[in-house]
Amino acid sequence: MTASLHTVSRHAASFGRRHGLWMAGGLVLAASVTLVASPVAASPVHVSTPRQTMPASLDAFLDGVVGDDAYLGAVAVVSSKGRIVYRKAAGHADLQGAPLREDAIFRIYSMTKPVTSVAALMLVEEGRLRLDDPVARYLPAFAALDRVTGDADEGRRVPVQRALTVRHLLTHTAGFATGGDDIRAASALLQAQAPEEAADLAGYADRVARAPLVQEPGTRFRYDGVNTEVLARVIEVASGQSLGDFLRSRIFIPLRMPDTGFEVPAAQRGRVMALTRRDGHGRRVLAETPSARTPGVRLRAYDSGAGGLYATAADYLRFAQMLANGGALDGVRLLRTASVDQMMRDQLAQFDPVVAYPEPGEGFGLGGYVVTDPATSTRPGSKGQFGWSGAAGTYFTIDRPRGLVILLLSQHLPTDEAPPLPKLATPFYRAVYAVVSP
């Protein structure tokens, strides 16, 4: 069973949400991003002395979710008002029993999406991209889209009445035939184009444009990586750079994220945590993916803006802290505060008609979930809380009113062969909120 990014993303959307798992213009760089060694250790945020009650309760939680019949290991980091108040590595890095270290490298899968979203917003601020521009302005193949109507099996198509926009890509409301068992036939038309077999993002987008949509753009939320991969190609056209070059030069280097990229150098691959799954007998085994068999290899031939990054907890914390600070960190500003505000504002309620979101008390911003009503949301936290997750057990959330950033990273893929492992994100978030002052 070889997992594709589409399968991983789709599985994360359905499985993860049910179970609480949930880069200067013109600079010439290498064609693909690799991790680079930094001569200066990058401190994520300032370190303070944690409250004594915090390590005890959170240690107990982490120690309780790793073990022979549980997760192999996990790294957690909590930042409160810009200072690290908790960090811990629990469990093992591989099936041979090596201890997991805080500097372990993880496949963050869909936690790549907020990074790609920030890249798009940077281009918006520079006037090279607009949220309500038609995608066809950058990708002409999307100029004459149609959609399936009636019985999808009949393949009857009609022209779309709404232009597909950049905002639709950011909010997963493009209308692509993804993310649901109710549109299997239409999904098959998209999958027949095999976009994930493309050599680059240009080829990926062209293949997607050949398939019909299943809904008018801006009318339904369907979470899937196709939206973000097409957005990634828009970023390449608008910036004149490959996605990898843009992310590296505009985000990773300025924020001092030396261990983040689309592949890991051979000398650092020993730091990549093993990727596991459960077999038909419920036993924890190595996952059957290329990156599980050869940790650190590219997850896709192209720079996958939807799910292709590797990162450490320290690196991703710097990215998340930048957002928590309103777009700046350590004197480096990537976004204006107004852009971050927009990113973390529910977009679905702004469409006409309003686009329904399946989770109570939550909407979707520009690249991640947004808590709209803490009283009905299953997540603890404030209104406007923002975050996302990755299919293999990586999670982050940002609560700006409280100045709180939480990361929890592991490496385990759910499968249909065995019951899922217990949920991690929501109970861990609750444990953190129980000991962090408002």
Angle between helices 225-239 and 112-125 (to 10 degrees): 40
Q: Establish if 225 belongs to a structural domain.
A: no
Domain count within the chain = 1
**Concatenated DSSP letters of 125-185:** HTTS--TTSBGGGT-GGGTT-EEE-S-GGGT-EEE-SS--BHHHHHTT-S--S-S-GGGHH
Q: Establish if 211 belongs to a structural domain.
A: no
- In 222-353 the beta strands, taken as DSSP E runs, fall at 276-278, 284-286, 310-311, 328-329, 332-333
Q: Establish if 232 belongs to a structural domain.
A: no
Distance, in Å, from the CA atom of 373 to the CA atom of 280, rounded to the nearest integer, reads 39
- Its domain, for residue 54, covers 5-130+241-433
Q: 255 in helix, strand or coil?
A: coil
Question: Residue-wise over 319-357: b if at least 16 C-beta within 10 A, else e?
Answer: bbbbbbbbbbbbeeebbeeebbebbbbbbbeebeeebeb
Pairing of β 46-47 and β 83-91: parallel
Which CATH number fits the domain that encloses residue 318?
A: 3.40.710.10
Q: Establish if 156 belongs to a structural domain.
A: no
372-381 contacts at long range (C-beta below 8 A, 24 or more positions apart): 372/346, 378/20, 378/426, 379/426, 379/429, 380/426, 380/429, 380/430, 380/433, 381/429, 381/433
Q: What is the pLDDT along the chain (438 residues), one digit of tens a residue?
A: 333 333 344 433 433 333 333 222 222 222 333 333 333 334 445 444 444 456 688 999 999 999 998 999 999 999 999 999 999 999 999 999 999 999 999 999 999 999 999 999 999 999 999 999 999 999 999 999 999 886 555 568 899 999 999 999 999 999 999 977 778 888 889 999 999 999 999 999 999 999 999 999 999 999 999 999 999 999 999 999 999 999 999 999 999 999 999 999 999 999 999 999 999 888 999 999 999 999 999 999 999 999 999 999 999 999 999 999 999 999 999 999 999 999 999 999 999 999 998 789 999 999 999 999 999 999 899 999 999 999 999 999 999 999 999 999 999 999 888 888 988 999 999 999 999 876
Comparing C-alpha atoms, which of 125, 123, 385, 115 is closest to residue 255? 115
Q: Establish if 136 belongs to a structural domain.
A: no
Q: Establish if 158 belongs to a structural domain.
A: no
Distance, in Å, from the CA atom of 126 to the CA atom of 432, rounded to the nearest integer, reads 37
Q: Establish if 193 belongs to a structural domain.
A: no
Pair of tokens at residue 321: 């802290």
Q: Establish if 96 belongs to a structural domain.
A: yes
